[in-house]
Amino acid sequence: MRGVWPRPRSGDKGRCEPPLTLRFSLGPCPSLDTGLVRGGGALKGATLGVSLRENSGACRMEAAMRDIEFYAQVLGLVDPWFVDDVDLSIENKRVDIVVSHHEGRLWPCPKCEVELALYDHAEERAWRHLDTGGFPTWLHARPPRVNCPSDGVRQVHLPWAEPRSRFTRAFERFAIDVLKETDISGASNILKTSWDECWGIMERAVARGRAAKEHQVPTLIGVDEKAARKGHSYLTLVYDIAGGTVEYIADDRKQASLDSYFESFSAEERSGITAVVMDMWPAYINSVEAHLADAHDKIVFDRFHIMKHMGEALDTVRKREHKELRAEGIDTLTGSKYLWLYAEKNLPDKHKGTFGSLKMLNLKTARAWAIKESLAVLWRYQRLGWATKFYKQWFFWATHSRLQPVIDVAYMIKRHLYGVLNYFSAARITNAAAEELNSKIQTIKKMAYGYRNREHFKTAIFFHCGGLQLYPATHGLPG
């Protein structure tokens, strides 16, 4: 950069001899060559004085050439592009790089790729590049345009930036890394950009990643819903169970929400699906049955959702019994809500003594808890025959418990028994991967203080959970 020169090695051929001498002073420097900084004029508060002995012109030229070569390498420029000029402004704390191209070259049309002669240039534009020594760095160029017989006047693709972006590819790669670690507001503070500019980088990354992703249906998929905001506002999500990624997002949790996913594949492609894990939501069941052959053999109802229904039944029994006991002046169940909802193996040690005494009492809640814990044993079986035998015994116990919420859940499981037992025949899968991703999605939502715009929420989910190749190609190497 002009005004910043490496020290030449004394004695080298072709290098300036004697070596460059730098003199620093605490006051204004009358000998400073102000022409070294774009814009001319004295540097305000400048304290740097520079004196050169002999061949100072050659030194300046060598320093400028080194700067040009450095940025040409950093930007990955190849013929016909070259760095024409590099300017460092100490006063404005910025670096400006001017890029030009050689004449007489043919340029490919960005749409049909037919090589054409130069038509004209667009207005000069600036792209933000990675900072240099803490100084914001900008790349300037006038993009060439071609007049294609089929596609009209088009601006050619530029090697340093994506179309419609005002950042170099190298800057966008860095910005994506920052966005992975923080929210949009935090990233804009770190990158010294606006909120909208950061969001644009995220949107382009997701669009690029989804366009590059291979169009194939996963063998094992999970279907779940996610609350988009308070109230009955949902998104339908499809997961790749093996890859642990979000594959598809649609508004609402209707049959049509899931239909669109299956309809994006041919019947032959859909035949590769071996199992679909989901909750017992009728709309999702109907969609799978409409698009998959032998759907009844491929649907697996998620055990965590089943146990959630059983936990809700247990809590209903507790509430009713607590109300009855309080009417008699008995506070046995006061403050015990979450003790009953724990799985026995997850109960904290500090509560084991208290809970051990509670479950030994003749309580309806204790019976409901025992039935819930027994149901969890079903998924430990390895063979379908033994699992079926156990289920029949459990069903008899649950339906003869005289606890209506428990009886209701038992009959609900019976109506969907095919999907419960498919766990042992189709695939031993659960929506555990979906629950992990749901936790991550909830964190994304909290970081942004909620998403009023659904499309923004979808973009953020794909960015963080889509398993996409988000980075633009730089120097011919993607990723």
- 117, two tokens: 């002669």
Q: Are residues 298 and 376 in the same domain?
A: no
Give the per-residue pLDDT at 8.
41
User: What does pLDDT average to in each consecutive run of 10 residues of the chain (479 residues)?
Assistant: 42 42 37 37 37 50 71 87 91 93 92 93 95 93 95 93 92 95 91 93 94 92 84 86 92 94 94 93 95 94 94 96 93 91 89 90 94 95 95 97 97 96 88 78 74 83 94 65
Q: Over the range 198-232, which residues count as b (16 or more CB within 10 Å of their CB) and which as e?
A: bbbbbebbbebbeeeeeeebbebbbbbbbebeeee
* 462 and 213 Cβ atoms separated by less than 8 Å: no
Cis bond upstream, residue 30 (ω within 30): no
Q: Are residues 291 and 438 in the same domain?
A: yes
Cis bond upstream, residue 282 (ω within 30): no
Give the per-residue pLDDT at 343.
86
- 208, two tokens: 């690029």
- 262, two tokens: 């299956």
Handedness of CA 179, 181, 185, 186 (dihedral sign): negative
Identify the CA nearest to 305 among candidates 459, 162, 413: 413
Q: Are residues 232 and 261 in the same domain?
A: yes
Give the per-residue pLDDT at 441.
85
Beginning with the edge strand found earlier in the chain, give each strand of the sheet holding 233-240 in spatial order. 245-251, 233-240, 220-229, 275-278, 299-301
Beta partners for residue 93, in sequence order: none
Q: Are residues 333 and 296 in the same domain?
A: no
Give the per-residue pLDDT at 299.
95
Q: Are residues 284 and 348 in the same domain?
A: no
Give the per-residue pLDDT at 473.
80
Read out DSSP for 346-398? G--HHHHHHHHHHHTS--HHHHHHHHHHHHHGGGG-SSHHHHHHHHHHHHHHH
Q: Are residues 289 and 319 in the same domain?
A: no
Residue 349 lies in a domain: yes
- 461, two tokens: 């989910």
> Angle 432-447/454-465 helices, nearest 10 degrees?
120
Q: Over the range 121-152, which residues count as b (16 or more CB within 10 Å of their CB) and which as e?
A: eeeeeebbbeebeeebbbbbbebbbbebeeee
Residue 329 lies in a domain: yes
The residue type found at 253 is R
Q: Are residues 235 and 377 in the same domain?
A: no
The total number of structural domains in the chain stands at 2
Domain that holds residue 295: 220-302+430-447
Q: Provide the H-helix boundaries in 143-270.
A: 169-181, 184-191, 195-212, 255-263, 267-270
Q: Are residues 381 and 351 in the same domain?
A: yes
Q: Are residues 402 and 314 in the same domain?
A: yes
Q: Are residues 336 and 415 in the same domain?
A: yes
Give the per-residue pLDDT at 45.
37
> Angle 255-263/282-291 helices, nearest 10 degrees?
30
Residue 351 lies in a domain: yes
Please report, for the domain that includes residue 266, its CATH number. 3.30.420.10
What's the rounded Cα separation, in Å, for the pair 293 and 288? 9
Number of H helices, E strands in the chain: 17, 16
| Entry pTM | 0.78
What's the rounded Cα separation, in Å, for the pair 226 and 434? 10
Q: Are residues 396 and 317 in the same domain?
A: yes
Give the per-residue pLDDT at 16.
43
* 235 and 250 Cβ atoms separated by less than 8 Å: yes
Residue 24 lies in a domain: no
* 17 and 10 Cβ atoms separated by less than 8 Å: yes
Residue 461 lies in a domain: no
What's the rounded Cα separation, in Å, for the pair 415 and 256? 24
Q: Are residues 246 and 330 in the same domain?
A: no
Residue 39 lies in a domain: no
- 449, two tokens: 């203080």
Residue 168 lies in a domain: no
